[in-house]
Amino acid sequence: MASIPSTIVVFSEDKVNFPLKWALVVMKQLFQYGVTKISIKDEKIFIELTYTPNAQKLKNKFGTLPVRYMRMKVENPQEFKIL
């Protein structure tokens, strides 16, 4: 399962003290290896990875940051329009 590409969608819970642009910089530092693309669209950060990190690794990476995240296996970028 670790070699299946995935996408992590990140939402900021505290837009005043931790704006999305700051969160993007932090995500670029947290996810340096295996990243296809990191972008901001509609108040969400999309991190496209070449692998699927396990739940414990994600929990350790995000720690106490004021963000929510979803790990998704997306085959078609059009599927993100439902978010």
> Measured between alpha carbons, how far is 5 from 3 in angstroms, rounded to an integer?
6
57 phi and psi angles, rounded to 5 deg: -65, -45
pTM for this structure?
0.84
**80 in any annotated domain:** no
Exposure of 25 by Cβ count < 10 A (0-12 exposed, 13-18 middle, 19+ buried)? exposed
Tens of pLDDT along 11-68?
999 989 999 999 999 999 999 999 999 999 888 999 999 998 889 999 999 999 999 9
Query: In the chain, how many domains are there?
Result: 1
CATH number for 63 = 3.30.70.260
The pLDDT value recorded for residue 82 is 67
CA distance 46 to 23: 11
Instruction: Please report which residue ranges of 1-83 form alpha helices under DSSP H.
Output: 20-30, 55-62
Any domain includes 81: no
Residue 82 inside a domain? The answer is no
| Position 41 in a domain | yes
Tens of pLDDT, residues 57-66: 999 999 999 9
Residue 67 lies in a domain: yes
